[in-house]
Structures are given as structure tokens and as C-alpha cells.
Amino acid sequence: MTIDELFPAAVRQLPLADLPLAGATAFLAQGTGEQILFMHFAEETELPEHAHAAQWGIVLEGRIDLVIDGVPHTFGKGDRYLIPAGVRHSGTIHAGYADITFFAQPDRYRPRPAVTAE
């Protein structure tokens, strides 16, 4: 499924998030104390183990394998996941994966810098 099919124009008009993950496209909705990302991954991506503020997501397409606090989980279309604040996690995001993710953190990601023509 393409990004245009996944997300309506109102979402695609949000700023792009500066995600340091290969093949990722993410639109950033910024709140005062939180962020919501609308994400799509065109290629498989490994997530090294890390921790941050609470994260909740709902899978729109594809599959993600997460290890949350040492316990492996697989989530697919329609599944929800929760990573509590401070809990170590890692995983594999498979090509074609898309989700909506809420971060209980206002500065988890920044908007992607604008590209200027020279």
C-alpha cells in the first residue's frame, strides 16, 4: 500500500519527521507534551535496544517484531502495542509496515530540515 493510500492529504501535509531509520517516512503531529507520528517503512529496519518515554502504537499495515523488556512480541495489522516509559526495547520493522504512534514526549523527533536549492 502506498503512502497516498495509507494516509489522507491532511496527514501528508504535516511536517516530515527527521527519523534516523532507513526507508522510513513519517509525518509529525506536534503537541505541547506529546507527538504523534504517522509512519511507513519501505524497507526492513532493525531497531537497536533503547528506552524513552511511553510509546503506544496501532499497526495499519505489515508486521513489526519487538522485544519489550526481554519479551518477544509480533504485531500485525489492527494490533496495538504499548512500551511503558523507561522500558528497554528493540526489534525489526518489516518492509511495508505502517502505523500511528503516540510518544508521551514532546521532543522525541524533530521536523526534517527543509531542503533548499543552491
Rounded CA gap, 17 and 27, in Å? 6
Q: Decide if pLDDT at 105 tops 90.
A: yes
Kindly state whether residue 118 falls inside one of the protein's structural domains.
Answer: no
Overall number of domains in the chain: 1
**Given pLDDT bands bounded at 50, 70 and 90, which one contains residue 28?**
very high
Kindly state whether residue 41 falls inside one of the protein's structural domains.
Answer: yes
| Paired residues of 73 in beta bridges | 66
Q: Vertex 55, ends 62 and 63: CA angle to 5°?
A: 10
pLDDT at 113: 84
Kindly state whether residue 59 falls inside one of the protein's structural domains.
Answer: yes
Strands of the sheet containing 24-30, edge to edge, are: 24-30, 35-41, 98-103, 55-61, 80-83
Domain that holds residue 69: 16-103
Q: What CATH number is given to the structural domain containing 48?
A: 2.60.120.10
Q: Decide if pLDDT at 116 tops 60.
A: no
Give 53's DSSP letter.
Answer: S
Kindly state whether residue 8 falls inside one of the protein's structural domains.
Answer: no
List, for residues 74-87, the tens digit of each pLDDT value: 999 999 999 999 99
3-state secondary structure of 105: coil
Work out the mean pLDDT of the chain and round it to a whole number.
95
pLDDT at 88: 98
Kindly state whether residue 61 falls inside one of the protein's structural domains.
Answer: yes
Number of H helices, E strands in the chain: 2, 9
| Residue appearing with cell numbers 537497536 | 48
Rounded CA gap, 40 and 61, in Å? 9
Kindly state whether residue 7 falls inside one of the protein's structural domains.
Answer: no
Q: Decide if pLDDT at 109 tops 60.
A: yes
pLDDT at 115: 64
Rounded CA gap, 98 and 4, in Å? 12
pLDDT at 57: 98
